[in-house]
């Protein structure tokens, strides 16, 4: 994909952030460093998160005087209603109930109407994605970048598909999913080596591992928001849809500039389970304790919430993730009141617990970061493997040999292993086996070994910093480039989607489909035939 240019354009790209948590803040930071983008609004029910993002990237970047009209909202619906009114004011015809101070645009003494958003970044909780995308799409003309996954259900993915393709021209706005692994310099180089330079010949097999990280898994998937399938979705979707999309991008999507159809999988299967974080694994000496702060073996337990959040982070001056997830105001408390006050607040959060008398809505509706990891109500897999199999699928062309027709479309297999119990945190690694060599990769290096020469070439891709090895910033730059191409350069939605975002709506939904098919295979202990699965499910989109 072409990178965004720094050339000035006729008008900036205005972005509203819906959801000011860690992901929304990461994208706001990337947008603030972009020469053509402006964050103009933030929507979040938490006043502290709203103020922190706005202070860093909206009004604080301006003069620090606080939010102006149209810059801060407690709910995304408020922003949608405000934007409808803003548009009417800009057209000089305010609807009933909307006050227009200082006259209407175009007349003497007309008001200056605040700018509208060209696009939104949807970074709310996963289960809210669908309603936000549907609500924003109702405005018309606002492009959407949505955090992954699109939704925890296939039905929800279908609702998003319909919301984005119901216009008179089909897809009337750009849509990006934050599958950020596609956009890091490391993975773009890896794909170029494999597909562009044929560095290992024809790919026959890929082994890819996502090491979640031992304490990271306990934070997010045992104690945190993503611990229960019924409340969110399986780990394969909430954590590893990045990785399934990465494999589909490498092995299914056509190379850049190619008009070939995708090489679709033949079969999908998966095995996995919750192996460790369950009551049967609880040490006997822990007794009946359900919270780390009242546990008799807390001082010697590696899963102690005090050790993870205080000793590993807060006592070292680290107030960002994951500590700010436990106590959203910890950064302000640490700065204004000191470390001891911050520790007191965090410990207060860690002491919170639930019992049999706790209402299910409260118990399941929030995280419990001080909860014993063997007494939590989690049920998602902590270890899972997915196998995707392709068969020979030559393009019909009588003028080409079978070997040429199979180039990039031969039989191959990919495995993805998601595992909780690792030293590394989300630093992916893997091996790509080809007919002429093999590539091994981690998050820092790519090693290409050539069978014929016996030589190994080591690449060190750029490490620009930021989330996901520069993938967050890379995604933002490509999304802004796409919006700019449509807004200022007259490019069509379809072309900008392909050229700049580099992923069509169908591709994004297809990679989600592979996840759902893999989960179906895991639960039913069977192999899923992809073509029939897609045929049976695509009608629900």
- Mapped onto helix, strand or coil, the DSSP state of residue 492 is coil
Residue 282: other Cβ atoms inside 10 A: 17
Let me know whether 197 and 333 are in one domain: no
pLDDT, mean over the chain: 92
Let me know whether 32 and 114 are in one domain: yes
Q: What residue numbers bound the domain in which 429 lies?
A: 182-277+379-463+507-538
- Provide the pLDDT for residue 189: 96
Does residue 117 sit within a domain? yes
Whether 104 has a pLDDT exceeding 80, the answer reads no
d(CA 537, CA 525): 19
Let me know whether 438 and 408 are in one domain: yes
Intra-chain end-to-end CA distance of the chain, in Å:
28
Does residue 51 sit within a domain? yes
Let me know whether 190 and 291 are in one domain: no
Q: What is the mean pLDDT of residues 451-473?
A: 88
Strands 437-441 and 429-434: antiparallel
Let me know whether 136 and 85 are in one domain: yes
Convert the pLDDT of each residue in 333-347 to its tens digit: 999 999 999 999 999
- Provide the pLDDT for residue 109: 52
With a CB cutoff of 8 Å and minimum separation 6, the contacts of 113 are: 86, 89, 90, 105
Convert the pLDDT of each residue in 18-71 to its tens digit: 999 989 999 999 999 999 999 999 999 999 899 999 999 999 878 778 999 999
DSSP 83-144: HHHHHHHHTT-PPTT---TT--TTSTT---PPPPPSEEEE-S-GGGHHHHHHHHHTTSS-EE
8 Å CB contact between 303 and 331: no
534: left (phi over 0), alpha (psi -120 to 50) or beta: alpha
The better pLDDT of the pair 73, 112 is held by 73
Structural tokens at position 368 = 């419990």
Does residue 371 sit within a domain? no
| Rounded percentage of the chain residues whose pLDDT exceeds 70 | 94
- CATH number where 400 lies: 3.30.360.10
Q: What is the mean pLDDT of residues 170-174?
A: 90
Does residue 113 sit within a domain? yes
Let me know whether 411 and 518 are in one domain: yes
Whether 365 has a pLDDT exceeding 70, the answer reads yes
Does residue 268 sit within a domain? yes
d(CA 370, CA 361): 19
Let me know whether 263 and 291 are in one domain: no
Does residue 515 sit within a domain? yes
How many distinct structural domains can be found in the chain? 3
Does residue 127 sit within a domain? yes
In this structure, the chain runs to a length of 541
Residue 5 DSSP label: P
Let me know whether 459 and 476 are in one domain: no
For the entire predicted model, the pTM comes to: 0.91
Let me know whether 258 and 354 are in one domain: no
Whether 107 has a pLDDT exceeding 90, the answer reads no
Q: How far is CA 129 from the centre of its chain?
A: 12
- Provide the pLDDT for residue 3: 45
Convert the pLDDT of each residue in 225-270 to its tens digit: 999 999 899 999 999 999 999 999 999 998 877 888 999 999 999 9
Q: What is the mean pLDDT of residues 400-404?
A: 80
Q: What is the mean pLDDT of residues 286-309?
A: 98
Convert the pLDDT of each residue in 199-227 to its tens digit: 999 999 999 999 999 999 999 999 999 99
Let me know whether 89 and 194 are in one domain: no
- Provide the pLDDT for residue 467: 67
- Provide the pLDDT for residue 398: 56
Let me know whether 441 and 488 are in one domain: no
With a CB cutoff of 8 Å and minimum separation 6, the contacts of 60 are: 54
Let me know whether 158 and 212 are in one domain: no
Q: How far is CA 294 from the centre of its chain?
A: 36
With a CB cutoff of 8 Å and minimum separation 6, the contacts of 52 are: 20, 25, 331, 332
Convert the pLDDT of each residue in 300-325 to its tens digit: 999 999 999 999 999 999 999 999 99
Whether 426 has a pLDDT exceeding 70, the answer reads yes
- Provide the pLDDT for residue 496: 96
- CATH number where 45 lies: 3.40.50.720
Whether 110 has a pLDDT exceeding 80, the answer reads no
Q: What's phi and psi for 519, nearest 5 deg?
A: -65, -40
- Mapped onto helix, strand or coil, the DSSP state of residue 220 is helix
With a CB cutoff of 8 Å and minimum separation 6, the contacts of 403 are: none
pLDDT band at 462 (very low <50, low <70, confident <90, very high): confident
- Provide the pLDDT for residue 2: 44
Does residue 102 sit within a domain? yes
- Provide the pLDDT for residue 1: 43
| Rounded percentage of the chain residues whose pLDDT exceeds 90 | 83
Cis peptide before 153 (omega within 30 of 0): no
């Amino acid at each position: 994909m072409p990178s965004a240019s720094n050339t000035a354009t006729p008008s900036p790209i205005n972005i509203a952030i819906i959801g000011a948590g860690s992901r929304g803040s990461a994208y706001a930071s990337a947008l603030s460093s972009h020469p053509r983008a402006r964050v103009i609004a933030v929507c979040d029910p938490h006043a502290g998160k709203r103020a922190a993002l706005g202070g860093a990237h909206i009004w604080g970047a301006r003069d620090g005087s606080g939010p102006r009209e149209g810059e801060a909202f407690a709910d995304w619906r408020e922003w949608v209603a405000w934007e409808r009114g803003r548009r009417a004011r800009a057209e000089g015809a305010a609807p009933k109930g909307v006050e227009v101070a200082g006259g209407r645009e175009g007349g003497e003494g007309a008001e200056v109407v605040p700018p509208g958003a060209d696009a939104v970044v949807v970074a709310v909780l996963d289960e809210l994605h669908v309603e936000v995308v549907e609500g924003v799409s109702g405005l018309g003309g606002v492009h959407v970048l949505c955090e992954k996954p699109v939704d925890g259900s296939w039905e929800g993915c279908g609702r998003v598909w319909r919301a984005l393709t119901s216009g008179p021209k089909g897809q009337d706005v750009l849509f990006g999913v934050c599958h950020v692994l596609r956009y890091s310099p490391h993975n773009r180089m890896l794909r170029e080596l494999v597909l562009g330079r044929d560095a290992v010949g024809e790919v026959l097999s890929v082994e890819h591992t996502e090491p979640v990280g031992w304490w990271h898994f306990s934070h997010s998937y045992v104690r945190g928001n993503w611990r229960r399938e019924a409340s969110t979705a399986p780990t394969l979707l909430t954590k590893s849809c990045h990785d399934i999309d990465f494999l589909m991008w490498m092995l299914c999507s056509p190379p850049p500039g190619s008009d070939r159809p995708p090489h679709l999988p033949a079969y999908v299967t998966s095995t996995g389970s919750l192996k460790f974080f369950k009551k049967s694994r609880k040490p006997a000496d822990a007794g009946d304790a359900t919270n780390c702060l009242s546990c008799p073996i807390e001082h010697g337990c590696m899963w102690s919430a005090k050790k993870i959040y205080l000793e590993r982070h807060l006592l070292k001056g680290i107030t960002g993730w994951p500590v700010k997830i436990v106590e959203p105001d910890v950064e302000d408390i640490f700065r204004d009141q000191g470390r001891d006050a911050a520790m007191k607040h965090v410990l207060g959060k860690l002491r919170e617990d639930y019992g049999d008398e706790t209402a299910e809505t409260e118990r399941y509706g929030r995280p419990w970061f001080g909860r014993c990891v063997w007494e939590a109500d989690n049920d998602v897999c902590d270890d899972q493997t997915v196998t995707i199999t392709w068969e020979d699928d030559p393009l019909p062309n009588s003028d080409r040999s079978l070997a040429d027709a199979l180039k990039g479309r031969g039989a191959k297999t990919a495995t993805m292993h998601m595992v909780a119990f690792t030293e590394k945190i989300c630093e992916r690694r893997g091996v790509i086996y080809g007919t002429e060599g093999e590539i091994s990769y981690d998050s820092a290096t790519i090693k290409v070994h050539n069978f014929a020469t016996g030589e190994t070439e080591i690449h060190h891709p750029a490490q620009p910093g930021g989330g996901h090895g520069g993938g967050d910033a890379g995604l933002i730059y490509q999304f802004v480039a796409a919006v700019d191409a449509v807004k200022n350069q007259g490019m069509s939605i379809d072309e900008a989607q392909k050229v700049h975002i580099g992923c069509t709506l169908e591709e994004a939904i297809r990679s989600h489909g592979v996840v759902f098919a893999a989960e179906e295979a895991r639960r039913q202990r069977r192999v899923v035939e992809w073509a029939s699965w897609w045929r049976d499910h695509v009608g629900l989109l």
